[in-house]
Amino acid sequence: MEKISQACNSQINMNPLDKRFLGKTGVKLPLLGFGGAPLGELFKKVTLFQVEETLNQAYDSGIRYFDTAPWYGHGLSEHRLGYMLRQKIRSEFILSSKVGRVYSPFKGDSTVFDGSPWIGGLPFQCCFDYSSEGLERSYIDSTLRLGLNQIDLLVIHDLDHGYHGKKVQQKLKELESGIEWLNKMKASGLIKGFGAGINDMQMMPVFMELFDLDFFLVAMPYTLLDQSPLEDILPACKKREIGIIIGSPYSSGILAAGSKYESTYGYAPPNHEILKKVKSIESICKEYDVPLKAASLQFPLFHPLVASVIPGVLEKEEVLENIQMIRHPIPAEFWLDLKNSGLLHPEAPVALSDE
């Protein structure tokens, strides 16, 4: 609290192109990256023209970290992102994709995917495979879809109770050989690091107990709405030199749209308590003339373990807005008011660290 008091007469300015080391990987990521899930047509169809406009705007604006996955549109996101990146100098950008799903052609109606959340996408269906053979097949297929022979960071995708239920322990056992393969890939220099994608916070200590990871890509939580990993999990990450990438700084939409518009929290309709909290945060934002999006993008970056935030982007205007939101000056008093109102964890970092 003392640090905040000393800074109360100042404004905090961030540069989205500044870089930070990601854990012990030696990789430096820009504060702002590009989340490729929307390119797979999760919420709505996206034309190729719109995709090209958006990706070119991101690259022309200086963004040099791009994240994708086979799951995003059943390969569509990787195809679209690869088309743009193949035209760039490979040493200029950092690329991450996911492993754990293996694809085969879909045999039914190509417009209907059983159990799939994607509105669009390609006519392929997946099965989970976290073994060494499964991860290698997933990685090779990704390089072919991308048209790039190097992926810098690999992320173990969706190994949690939400996807696997009672089979989580079985999948973790399967992953043991997969981790051996990932370590060999890293030792050979074919990848620069590997981590796990997190939807369920409770999986973070499980992964840390079983495996030596370089980073977590956290979809939920550690956002303006939820700082639950702060007390135990993030200190454990620090001890192990595990870096953090924030995959959904807008909490899947509500921190971008605000309380007045239909949106999602955790990829589902928000409940009354969440809406109430968003409205309370919006009230303080209005008092300080701080856009909700600016506060949402900047907040996770105050934590010294967080290397990058990678919001999903659909339009070129959103690229420019995200850059503007990270640059937007926010007075230190704003963060103090959020804490005093009980809207932020009292120990949440709200000043740029020298670490």
- Where in the sequence numbering do the catalytic residues fall? 67, 72, 98
- Which pairs with CB-CB distance under 8 Å and at least 24 residues apart come from 261-269? 265/225, 266/220, 267/117
The two structure tokens encoding residue 276: 């109430």
Angle (CA) 10 12 13, round 5°:
130
- Within 13 Å and on the Cβ side, how many CA atoms surround 16? 27
Three-state secondary-structure class, residue 35: strand
Q: What is the C-alpha to C-alpha distance for residues 280 and 353, in angstroms, rounded to an integer?
A: 27
Strand partners, 101: 128
Nearest Cα to Cα of residue 210 among 167, 245, 178: 178
Angle (CA) 244 145 132, round 5°:
60
